[in-house]
Structure 1
Amino acid sequence: MLNELSLELKSRGANVVIGVDISTLQAKENRGYYAAILIGIALKPSYIYRLSKENNLDCFEFLQKEAAADKLAEWAADFIRLKGYKAYAQSESNLINGFYDAVTKATPLPHKKIAVLAGLGWIGKSNLLVTQEYGSALCMCSVLTNAPLPIQYRPIMRPFCGKCNVCKDICPAKVIHGMNWEEGTPRDLIVDVYHCETCLKCLVHCVWTQKYVKTHGL
């Protein structure tokens, strides 16, 4: 089923579709589901390149791709339910109904945690997911399910950020603390999300995101 679903999701714009084992997580995180499907849509290299050269905030494509990932997750959940299994899309519209804590600005199971469990990337000093292929230029959503999915078992990646502090140095709000992530590190030790301006500078100027842009000839 995952192969059929993956082909359909990619025909609808997804760049990443991965089955992930979440059975060992706490009940408050996996809500009784033992598998997840991570769906990712990459931002266009030309968009990243333009933002890196301009000083204007332009979130249009970012928000567009975030919404598109949500819609793909909701479509995938419907697809799985039609196959006779349970599924829950962790889209913004679903999470806001009791699963998003506005005080702590957190959800029980962030998409990036699922991505880390999938071995797709690591948590950067910006607190964004960083991947070797796309940098942080990946908008994600996820689906929790009890469907029997083939799981890709990959080791959790250690951060490749090293001594790089590009995201910290370029952050206008100075909310990035420059700490290398490790499993179990509290989010607030990495970044002050309460004063983040969502300017996308850390995403755009990450050296791995820039590598993704250069790989595509920009």
Structure 2
Amino acid sequence: MEDLSSLLKKELTKKGASIIGFADLSDIPLDKRNEMPYGISIAVALNPHIILGIKNGPTQEYYGEYNKVNEHLDNLVKYAGKILNDYGYKAILKTTTEVVVESNSYSTILPHKTVATRAGMGWIGKCALLVTKEYGSAIRLSSVLTDAPLKVGTPINESQCGSCCACKLACPGNAPLGENWNVNKHRESFFNAYNCRKAAREKAAKVGINSTICGKCIEACPWTRKYLDRHK
């Protein structure tokens, strides 16, 4: 009989997920993980041809892709939740309507990228985005918290960006400070979220987008470039 972890990966991949990982969340405070011991991280890659077009900033095509992928992720999370419930397990769905960004810090209680690093899917780049070897940072993420005992990945606790500062050089808001992330670092020590938000809103407004969206750091990342090169 197929185990639940394999079933989830197979079914979510069929529905369009690009990467699926399972995380042991036991080292995260109970209240931040809704008292659930495990997390499922789901990533969907952004269209490489659209990412190629945001070298100078966001476009209407990128904004459309961003929203389309977010909606797709919500559906994938709901589908994962249904599978878990059918097997008798709890599932807390971290959809776009459920996750609340705190206005004072522009962060969430349990970021999707934290679940992803605990699942071993990638590391946090100098731009404060998850970086994966498969797609660079050209992905969107979502999560499910559960009590289902899953086959978890090996957590990634250190950056693999090394001396690269491509995202720092590309950022119009000078948000990345050039420091490498590790699991014990607070975001404020290597990234200025306020500067990122301000520059992103300005960039978006110039092309008629009323949202906080930019993407220049995504396109500039060498790991993203490897993904884009495979689709030229």
Q: Same fold (TM over 0.5)?
A: yes
Identical counterparts, % of pairs = 34
Could you tell me which residue of structure 2 aligns to residue 30 of structure 1? 33
Could you tell me which residue of structure 1 aligns to residue 222 of structure 2? 207
Could you tell me which residue of structure 2 aligns to residue 2 of structure 1? 5
**Secondary structure of the residue that 2:188 maps to in structure 1?**
helix
Could you tell me which residue of structure 2 aligns to residue 172 of structure 1? 172
CA offsets per residue over residues 32-90 of structure 1, 9 Å max, x none? 101111111111222222323x6553322122112211221122113212322111011
The letter of the residue matching 2:149 is: P
Could you tell me which residue of structure 2 aligns to residue 140 of structure 1? 141
Unaligned runs of 5+ in 1: none
TM, length-normalised to structure 2: 0.85
Could you tell me which residue of structure 2 aligns to residue 193 of structure 1? 193
Out of 61, 73, 76, the residue aligned to residue 80 of structure 2 is 76
The letter of the residue matching 2:145 is: L
Preserved CA contact (<8 Å) 1:121 1:157: no
The letter of the residue matching 2:131 is: V
Shift in Å at residue 126 of structure 1?
A: 0.3
Preserved CA contact (<8 Å) 2:57 2:215: no
**Secondary structure of the residue that 2:135 maps to in structure 1?**
coil
The letter of the residue matching 1:142 is: S
Q: Could you list the runs of 4 or more consecutive aligned residues of structure 1 that deviate by over 6 angstroms after TM superposition? A: none
* Aligned equivalents of 1:56, 1:9: Cα separation in 2: 29
**Secondary structure of the residue that 1:94 maps to in structure 2?**
coil
1:178–1:139 distance in 2 versus 1, CA, 3 Å: same
1:35-114 alignment, distance < 5 Å? 35-52=38-55, 55=57, 57=59, 58-96=62-100, 100-114=101-115
Shift in Å at residue 135 of structure 1?
A: 0.4
* Aligned equivalents of 1:56, 1:42: Cα separation in 2: 17
1:126-137 alignment, distance < 5 Å? 126-137=127-138
* Aligned equivalents of 1:175, 1:15: Cα separation in 2: 28
Could you tell me which residue of structure 2 aligns to residue 182 of structure 1? 182
Shift in Å at residue 157 of structure 1?
A: 5.0
**Secondary structure of the residue that 1:95 maps to in structure 2?**
coil
Shift in Å at residue 162 of structure 1?
A: 1.8
The letter of the residue matching 2:162 is: G
* Aligned equivalents of 2:124, 2:147: Cα separation in 1: 27
Preserved CA contact (<8 Å) 1:135 1:207: yes
TM, length-normalised to structure 1: 0.90
* Aligned equivalents of 2:131, 2:142: Cα separation in 1: 15
1:213–1:84 distance in 2 versus 1, CA, 3 Å: same
* Aligned equivalents of 1:85, 1:118: Cα separation in 2: 19
Shift in Å at residue 190 of structure 1?
A: 1.8
1:155–1:141 distance in 2 versus 1, CA, 3 Å: closer
1:19–1:190 distance in 2 versus 1, CA, 3 Å: same
The letter of the residue matching 1:183 is: V
**Secondary structure of the residue that 2:97 maps to in structure 1?**
helix
The letter of the residue matching 1:189 is: S
Preserved CA contact (<8 Å) 2:39 2:146: yes
* Aligned equivalents of 2:58, 2:119: Cα separation in 1: 34
* Aligned equivalents of 1:16, 1:165: Cα separation in 2: 25
Q: How many residues align?
A: 212
* Aligned equivalents of 2:182, 2:152: Cα separation in 1: 24
